Structure 1
Amino acid sequence: MRTTRPWASLALAAVLAAGCAGTPDSVPDPERAAAANADLGIEYLRNGDEARAIRTLEKALDYDPRHVDAHWALAIAHGRLNENDAADRHYRRALDLQPRPEIRNGYGVFLCRTGRVDEALAQLEDAADNPRYPDAADALANAGLCLARAGEAERADGYFRRALERNPRHRPTLAALAEQSLERGDNLRARGFFQRLEDTAGPKTPLADEWLLLGARIESALGEREAAEAYLQRYNDRNPGDRRTLDQLDDDA
């Protein structure tokens, strides 16, 4: 999640928060107290502690009810807990305060997950249309994924094409197009998209685990068992507690 200022470290945020005892009216600098609690709450959120994040972020809003990042982080935390009414409320409040494209992108993903596809597309389109948003391809890819999951593969393709126009090496889009091609039985096309995805990989940007499984499925569908096993071995080396076999992948397909 992007913010307008760098993340404070957990240690620094904790030190700042320690100086924030008392009521908002009694604190000499409520804005600083709000920022410290927001940073600490966001750190809890990044570490997967949603309950503690919510408590700390709500404290930030006690000091500054207009703290955008606190509202945004609360929306994400409540969304992870499937507390959708609260998540929606905080997303809308954050956008009322600052209609930033990265918040619209997150809200669009949330709306899609909760079945509000048309609303999701509107938010994602708005995010992608912002000329200052460097991650427009993310928003377009999210729109495509939203439609694909809703069973509208043809409309999804249009968004995926637009995402690649913005960024020809956009990894989630290439993976999604490879997956869709495989599901349609166009295995050679699936391999083509997957090879483009693989070309983006490097020592610092390896393929995600689910993409290695996708590569195995594509090669298996093409009858290239040795190549499929090679992808699967890379997955198993990373995940010794979740070893997969090619037969399992074929059964799941």
Structure 2
Amino acid sequence: MKLALRYLRKDEMQLAKENLEKALEYQPNDANIYRIYAYYSQRVNEDEDAEKFYKKSLSLDSKNADTHNNYGTFLCRKERYEEAEKEFLTAIEQTSYSNVADTYENAAYCAEKAQNFDKAIYYYQYALSHNPNKIGLHLSLANLNINKKEFTVAQLNIFNFLKKSKATPESLWQSIRLSYATEKGASLNKYATQLLSEFPESQRALDYLNHEYY
């Protein structure tokens, strides 16, 4: 199983599969092997097999939070948002689970994809409360709050990010969007100048040049 993971990290997919098959020969009822096989199947775009392996893994170990989280991510990618949320919440409920913040972030991202923005904000906030070092989530919140016209809250989101980080293309972009939304032309020009000066090749610089504020 460890060899299979190593080969997956190196994108040596055939060798990964061979080692997963060998692992199942030795331990045909190991839930972890089926979870990794599900991930392998995702990587090679065999989604039907991936779902089959996730379900098999959970039938062997229904309380494995990592499997619920990974299955939720898979379901979200398939736009099965309600099923994905259920898997994320099941993962979070497991008392021994240590990656709660990551799963809340996954749930937030999935809710955002589903255009359930209030729920996305709720989950992003919970991710931050469980891991305040995930400072990039302040910008995810800023983006959503600007969209909701919650401009004071968005400003606080950006401020909280900048308390712990230097300006980034994303923080400058959210500042530009906020300035545009609140009709503060001088601020917009200031942040735009900084973005084009410090990060001229970034996607956010291109977004600004195309005036894609929303």
Deviations 1:48-93 (A, max 9, x none): 3344323332232223223333322221122133321111111222
Match of 1:219 in 2: 175
Of the candidates 18, 22, 25, which is equivalent to residue 59 of structure 1?
Answer: 22
Aligned identity (percent) is 24
Pair 1:44-2:7 in alignment: yes
Match of 1:70 in 2: 33
The aligned amino acid for 1:83 is: E
SS in structure 2 at match of 1:224: helix
Gaps of 5+ in 2: 180-186
Contact in 1 for aligned 2:158/2:175 (Cα 8 Å)? no
Of the candidates 103, 107, 130, which is equivalent to residue 67 of structure 2?
Answer: 103
Contact in 1 for aligned 2:139/2:171 (Cα 8 Å)? no
Contact in 2 for aligned 1:145/1:176 (Cα 8 Å)? no
Pair 1:137-2:122 in alignment: no
Pair 1:116-2:75 in alignment: no
The aligned amino acid for 1:189 is: V
Q: What TM-score, normalized by structure 2, do the two folds share?
A: 0.78
Q: Relative to structure 2, which stretch is displaced further, 228-237 or 79-88?
A: 228-237
Q: What TM-score, normalized by structure 1, do the two folds share?
A: 0.68
Residues paired across the two proteins, number: 205
Q: 1:244 to 1:85 in 2, by over 3 A?
A: same
SS in structure 2 at match of 1:251: coil
- What is the RMSD computed on CA atoms of the aligned residues? 2.9
Q: 1:60 to 1:252 in 2, by over 3 A?
A: farther
Match of 1:90 in 2: 53
Contact in 2 for aligned 1:228/1:246 (Cα 8 Å)? no
Match of 1:176 in 2: 140
Contact in 1 for aligned 2:69/2:103 (Cα 8 Å)? yes
The aligned amino acid for 1:193 is: N
Separation (CA, whole Å) in 2 of partners of 1:234 and 1:53:
42
Gaps of 5+ in 1: 1-37
Separation (CA, whole Å) in 2 of partners of 1:40 and 1:198:
41
